[in-house]
Amino acid sequence: MTTTANAPAPAPRLREPIPLVSHLRAFIHDPLELFDSMHASHGDVVEFFMAGDRWVLLSHPDDIERVHLETTRNYRKGYQEYKKIGYVFSRTLGNGLVTSEGSFWRTQRRLAQPAFHTKRIQGYADTMVGYTRELIDTWHPGDEFDMRILMGGLTQRVAGKSFFGTDTEKESSRASEALDKIMLGFNVELGSMVLERLPAFVPTRNRRRVDSAISDFEDVIAEFIANRRAAEGEHGDLLAMLVESRDDDGSQMTDKQLRDELVTMYVAAQETTTSTLAWIWYFLGTRPDLAARVYAEVDSVLGGAPATAEKMGELKLLRAVVDEVLRLYPPAWRVFRVPDNDVEFQGYRVKAGTMVAMSQWITHRDPRWFDRPTEFDPDRWLDGRTANLHRYAYWPFGGGPRMCIGNGFALMEIVLIAATIAQRVRYTLLDHDVKPYPMITLRPSPGVRVRVDSVAGAQ
């Protein structure tokens, strides 16, 4: 095809190994490897076909920035198109903040935003630290367990308390059991793009299991909502803020909207923070030198007192460890947008309706932006090497109007939980052979098995 100055060229296209099925097999088998290899061979704009759909992978921070800043004007997230996200995702999240679009999303975001203001979030710090201390109190030298599973239970409890004002573990084990089944269902469908793409009316075993878990979860949430609507007095949790919030015309969220927002927050908060915490214990377990520095920092900053929101800013090395985990194993490892019109990136044309994929996994490991990019090196965040980084070379929480609303909550939760454990627990990593498992997040697989060496007494 000939091109002129006014007509951008089509993007370089990845050769299709098998027509129609195209890159689906590679994507199912190892999506990280597929993204890596297409970026290495074709550069920052590469087009490919995924089971008949046109996709493009953008990897230059300038392009990623443009898409994020123009998201609410020229792009859709595309979640309403069922085929893109699959049955379990759309059935679970409904029309909540992650999946909604347009003016509906804008209103919901405005209503939810106050619950995430810094002052509000700081009110959750005691819950985060308190629940972590309770968990540590059950640990003994010689205990062996998978840190990923224990961190999952902990972040779930924190989310239950902060969002619903209730201790989901004690008051409603139904909610946590249902959530576990939903997350399992997510992973089963996401792990097979074939299952995910079956039409919604096909009742697979996984879908039936998820449907029943969702209805259990909805029953519990309906009780929370009903109790809260009936209750008098001040409650500092997200549910209270959403129940009380009013739009400009005085209207309130319906029970269905509340349900969608609460489930969305719960799912968005839980798996992401769990994966980050699990990787922290993995890396500290592989690097005793670094762990010793983290322990020394925690001791000197906290001096034996419980961690607080105010002290977080002083835990600089720990925060650098968190930033480095979010760089190497970003829980949100790819995001998608669908352009409403044809667009041009780096001189290449991308057609309206194309699935535009952008991957934190790729940019966070790009040697143009990070030296020795595959090395776990938290000091890069402390010694000035990342001072002039492009805003979209490192973007674990996204950006633009649809940036993660839980960013501050997540960082506080991760740092406070990690500091509280680092203050009291010494452990040995039992299995060093751990790999990222690319599902909703890049969770460490098969897990982070540890043996507790010592637990300092209650402080």
Residues that bind ligand HEM in the complex, under the rule CB under 6 A: 77, 97-98, 109, 264-265, 268-269, 272-273, 276, 331-332, 335, 396-398, 402, 404-406, 409-410
Please say which residue, 14 or 448, places its beta carbon nearer to ligand HEM: 448
CA distance 312 to 122: 11
Please say which residue, 326 or 455, places its beta carbon nearer to ligand HEM: 326
State the minimum distance, in angstroms, from the CB of residue 88 to ligand HEM. Answer: 18
Transcribe 191-206 into DSSP letters.
T-HHHHHS-TT---HH
State the minimum distance, in angstroms, from the CB of residue 15 to ligand HEM. Answer: 29
CA distance 384 to 337: 33
Please say which residue, 87 or 394, places its beta carbon nearer to ligand HEM: 394
Neighbour-count burial of 21, counting CB atoms closer than 10 A to its CB (0-12 exposed, 13-18 middle, 19+ buried): middle
User: Residue of minimal CB distance from ligand HEM?
Assistant: 406
State the minimum distance, in angstroms, from the CB of residue 443 to ligand HEM. Answer: 12
Give the contacts of 213 (CB within 8 A, at least 6 positions apart).
177, 178, 179, 181, 182, 185
Give the contacts of 93 (CB within 8 A, at least 6 positions apart).
79, 99, 260, 263, 264, 267
Please say which residue, 285 or 406, places its beta carbon nearer to ligand HEM: 406
Please say which residue, 54 or 109, places its beta carbon nearer to ligand HEM: 109
CA distance 137 to 255: 38
- Contact call for residues 346 and 63 (beta carbons, < 8 A): yes
Please say which residue, 98 or 210, places its beta carbon nearer to ligand HEM: 98
State the minimum distance, in angstroms, from the CB of residue 120 to ligand HEM. Answer: 11
State the minimum distance, in angstroms, from the CB of residue 354 to ligand HEM. Answer: 16
State the minimum distance, in angstroms, from the CB of residue 417 to ligand HEM. Answer: 12
> What's the CA dihedral at 121, 123, 129, 135 to 10 degrees?
-90
Please say which residue, 27 or 279, places its beta carbon nearer to ligand HEM: 279
Bridge-partner residues for 55, per DSSP?
A: 48, 355
State the minimum distance, in angstroms, from the CB of residue 294 to ligand HEM. Answer: 18
- Indicate the helix (H) or strand (E) that contains 296: helix 288-302
